[in-house]
Structure 1
């Protein structure tokens, strides 16, 4: 089975950076966060894949983790960004090169206090189901 890691990351990145309401809230969406990135921003985290074949079709189930970073006191700003992520991704169409029947849904999220007391962090996981073309 060929991995969907890169096509899936590319599709998620394109979906997020093309979502005007999200981009109005953040300074950027990053795979590799620049040293001087302004808060708030979203970073792409890990992607895990599991084989999810059906009869004679090759398929994958993936978990995509995103991170919201904010310096707003409290979690209000990070929560608004999480809502914009959901508007962009949760149960929305997603085109992934080499795959069909792609569906994506919010799985879970967790708000965290960073060791730096000024930083607020929410990590969010989305489940993605894909069938190989």
Structure 2
């Protein structure tokens, strides 16, 4: 069993429901962005999962990486940080409905910034606990 897909779907739903965030990124929230996608956009990507079974009940810690992509001349790191604030307001310290599991909490762990050619990227990592 794995909770990763359930976590991704619930976070995608929560982020998609934030109209301010969706306006800021032009509804560009992806698992895998299309070729030549416009900037800015967010990907919900890499995940790891560890066992958190307790008292004969399945449980999981899911760590996921969200990447916020912007481009020089289109807001750069400033825009990426504004987007990250909206993401944090939406999911940090929150619980979301999941199909198979009960989310105990989603919390922000850390973020980093990097520049890749002419792209500005923020990597934001979140931990999700679910049973």
TM-score, normalization by structure 2: 0.91
**Where do residues 102-121 of structure 1 align in structure 2 (5 Å cutoff)?**
102-114=104-116, 116=117, 118-121=118-121
* Residues 101/75 of structure 1: CA separation in 2 closer, same or farther (3 Å cut): closer
- Distance in 2, matches of 1:104 and 1:11, equals 11
Match of 1:81 in 2: 83
- Distance in 2, matches of 1:52 and 1:21, equals 34
Match of 2:30 in 1: 30
CA-atom RMSD in angstroms? 1.2
Unaligned runs of at least 5 residues, structure 1: none
- Distance in 2, matches of 1:120 and 1:8, equals 26
- The Cα offsets for residues 64-122 of structure 1, whole Å up to 9 and x where unpaired, read as 110000013541100000001101110122111111143100011100111x1x21000
Count of aligned residue pairs for this structure pair: 128
The structure 1 segments of at least 4 consecutive aligned residues displaced by more than 4 Å after TM superposition are none
Match of 1:20 in 2: 19
Q: 1:12: how far off?
A: 1.1
Equivalent residue of 2:42, what SS? Answer: strand
**Where do residues 57-96 of structure 1 align in structure 2 (5 Å cutoff)?**
57-71=57-71, 72=74, 74-96=76-98
- Distance in 2, matches of 1:67 and 1:49, equals 18
**Structure showing the higher helix proportion among its residues:** 2
* Residues 34/58 of structure 1: CA separation in 2 closer, same or farther (3 Å cut): same
